[in-house]
Structure 1
Amino acid sequence: MSGFSSKTASGFGTPSLTPPLEAALKTPATGSSSANSGTSTPGNLKKVRLLMLHGYTQSGAIFRGKVNGLIKKLNKLFPPLGLEPVLIFPTAPNKLTVDDVVGWERRQPPIPGFEPDTWAWYRSDELQDKYLYLEEGMNRIAETLQQAREDARREGDEDGGVDGVIGFSQGGCMAGMLASALEAVHKPRAAAERTHERWLETVREANGGRPLKFAVIYGGFRAAPLELEWLYNPKIATPTMHWIGSVDTVVGEERSMGLVKKCIDPVVLNHPGGHFVPIDPKYANALVSFIHKHVQDKTKKDEQEADDAASDEDTAIESVFDLPRRGTQSV
């Protein structure tokens, strides 16, 4: 069984859920039998380092505050799986002023020297069809990747570092670009694209030449400038999960789907909200299940796939992430 039915010819509409899929999404995320036996302790948990990229006009601290509820749920859901979440919240390097923030009302009388804690990973210049200061944004991410690797080494994990990225809005766009950039197959080819070679080499070196294990994107979108088209050709192979708000008026569904269509086998989920990161328990379960699937060791993955194949006929409920991903799934 497919687990969901699509009502649209294109495959990118909002399909309805069948009862088995609804049950799977409402079931708390689970891992291996040993992880669920209650024997996991803080000392033997495997750290999962998540790079958290904030949106336009936010900062690392502001984004952390916005997703504090989700952090609490991850801290509760990960340990039974033998995992410990380590969330890293860098702040973008490009400072925004009050005049850069749409809708910001200056205080009367103004506070001398006051500037909001608002930052950007890049500045969009539609007239030139460019993202200004993108290299500075990518360099800040490279610094964070390098620091994560050094932290892992100090803890005795020579191969450790950032496992995956979670990005919101402009940070979601950056998450998609980063996932692509860390795949060796993507590289600038045309002369107009060569200006991006410096930051590309920097982020790859910072991450030890390794691709990310996954990318989770909330209200994200595809980079618009033509000189960044090389990031999406070929399509992004890193496993991606895309969250789209059904009433998001900041980044509409069509714009988010522009990025979805540039990813191989994306997981696409709708939530009945606007431009924010949903923290309802069932959404947190789905997020944890996706991350857990992609941070397991290859050996464990192979064993799990073999077990799944052997017991396929006895399986009562299929996992949402093992279903054919033909369109947007509403949870």
Structure 2
Amino acid sequence: MAINLCVPKPQVSTTFLLYKFPDREDSHKFCKMGSEAEIVRKPRFLCLHGFRTSGEILKTQVHKWPESVLQKLDLVYLDAPFPSQGKSDVEGIFDPPYYEWFQFNKEFVEYTNFDECLAYIEDFMIKNGPFDGLLGFSQGAILSAGLPGLQATGVALTKVPKIKFLIIIGGAMFKSPSVAEKAYDSPIKCTSLHFLGKTDFLKEYGMELVKKCVDPVVIHHPKGHTIPRLDEKGLETMLSFVDKIQNMLLDK
């Protein structure tokens, strides 16, 4: 029998308040009021961690990336609503507590507490937004990639601005038929960046997800189901993606 848990108050790891002051010669690109000191908000991402980990763990994993990337983004890390109901794969590597976004059966086609999870994320976004995009790893990546479609079909995030950007690491698609038919009713139009690991057990499913996206950017890496460090080529791709979404925000 499924156990319905009360949704606790959202817990938040460190938020990076990052802003950019334009150089003198570029001030016309940033300031419509004529002031060279105009503050420009950087792309703000809500970051959703993997199954039975935490926002603090995801923060540590993401910090494998160089400052040249991190300084360009405003990242907010949220703990999932439900305490881990079983053993975490990161025990002995990262300290508890551990959380999970929702529960599922062995075939991954039946979800428990999924609606509560969606409501929890939306409530946090209402109180702490606006957010420009979502960054997710593993279970958090599955959620992140599925939420734009659920938002478009009116299933989730109906009270917050449209998700514009995605950073998906070790992702896949929802397998629950009732959720998938709404999440992927149409192509995912968000500007998206996907990390695909050569030995990731979800690589095949991550590739299927990429095919559902309009004009996705992909970084291939030699590791498994992890958040990889960026090699020279990956860093170049990542910085290009970040610059692209920053310019998209400036054009509005």
The count of residues paired between Structure 1 and Structure 2 equals: 220
Q: Using the alignment, how far apart are the partners of 1:276 and 1:128 within structure 2?
A: 20
Compare the two structures and name the one with the higher helix fraction.
1
Residues 103, 218 of structure 1: CA spacing in aligned structure 2 closer, same or farther, 3 A cutoff? closer
Q: 1:74 aligns with which of 58, 62, 69?
A: 69
Q: 2:122 aligns with which of 117, 124, 142?
A: 142
Q: Does the CA contact (< 8 Å) of 1:169 and 1:218 recur in 2?
A: yes
| Unpaired segments ≥5 residues, structure 2 | 1-21, 28-35
Q: Does the CA contact (< 8 Å) of 2:47 and 2:135 recur in 1?
A: yes
- Given residue 149 of structure 2, which amino acid in structure 1 is its aligned partner? S
Q: 1:58 aligns with which of 28, 48, 53?
A: 53
Counterpart in 2 of 1:296?
A: 247
Counterpart in 2 of 1:14?
A: none
Counterpart in 2 of 1:110?
A: none
Counterpart in 2 of 1:88?
A: 76
SS at match of 1:234: coil
SS at match of 1:240: strand
* Offset, 1:104: 5.4
2:161 is the alignment partner of 1:220: no
* Offset, 1:103: 8.3
Counterpart in 2 of 1:270?
A: 220
Q: Using the alignment, how far apart are the partners of 1:298 and 1:102 within structure 2?
A: 38
| Unpaired segments ≥5 residues, structure 1 | 1-30, 36-40, 79-84, 106-114, 150-160, 188-196, 302-331
Counterpart in 1 of 2:184?
A: 232
Counterpart in 2 of 1:260?
A: 210
Q: Does the CA contact (< 8 Å) of 1:94 and 1:133 recur in 2?
A: no
Residues 71, 177 of structure 1: CA spacing in aligned structure 2 closer, same or farther, 3 A cutoff? farther
CA RMSD of aligned residues (A): 3.1
Residues 104, 62 of structure 1: CA spacing in aligned structure 2 closer, same or farther, 3 A cutoff? closer
**Percent of aligned pairs with the same amino acid:** 26
Counterpart in 2 of 1:170?
A: 139
> Of the two structures, which has the highest relative contact order with CA contacts closer than 8 Å and spacing of 6 or more?
1
Q: Does the CA contact (< 8 Å) of 1:219 and 1:244 recur in 2?
A: yes
Q: Does the CA contact (< 8 Å) of 1:167 and 1:216 recur in 2?
A: yes
Q: What does residue range 179-194 of structure 1 map to in structure 2 within 5 Å?
A: 179-183=148-152, 186-187=153-154
Residues 70, 126 of structure 1: CA spacing in aligned structure 2 closer, same or farther, 3 A cutoff? same
* Offset, 1:286: 2.1
Q: Using the alignment, how far apart are the partners of 2:41 and 2:91 within structure 1?
A: 43
2:53 is the alignment partner of 1:101: no
2:174 is the alignment partner of 1:244: no
Residues 102, 148 of structure 1: CA spacing in aligned structure 2 closer, same or farther, 3 A cutoff? closer
Residues 61, 71 of structure 1: CA spacing in aligned structure 2 closer, same or farther, 3 A cutoff? farther
Q: Does the CA contact (< 8 Å) of 1:179 and 1:215 recur in 2?
A: no
Q: Does the CA contact (< 8 Å) of 1:95 and 1:119 recur in 2?
A: yes
Residues 103, 70 of structure 1: CA spacing in aligned structure 2 closer, same or farther, 3 A cutoff? closer
Counterpart in 2 of 1:124?
A: 104
* Offset, 1:71: 6.5
Q: Using the alignment, how far apart are the partners of 2:37 and 2:123 within structure 1?
A: 28
- Given residue 44 of structure 1, which amino acid in structure 2 is its aligned partner? I
SS at match of 1:247: coil
Tell me the TM-score normalized by structure 1. Answer: 0.59
**Deviations along 1:8-41, whole A, 9 cap, x unmatched?**
xxxxxxxxxxxxxxxxxxxxxxx99727xxxxx9
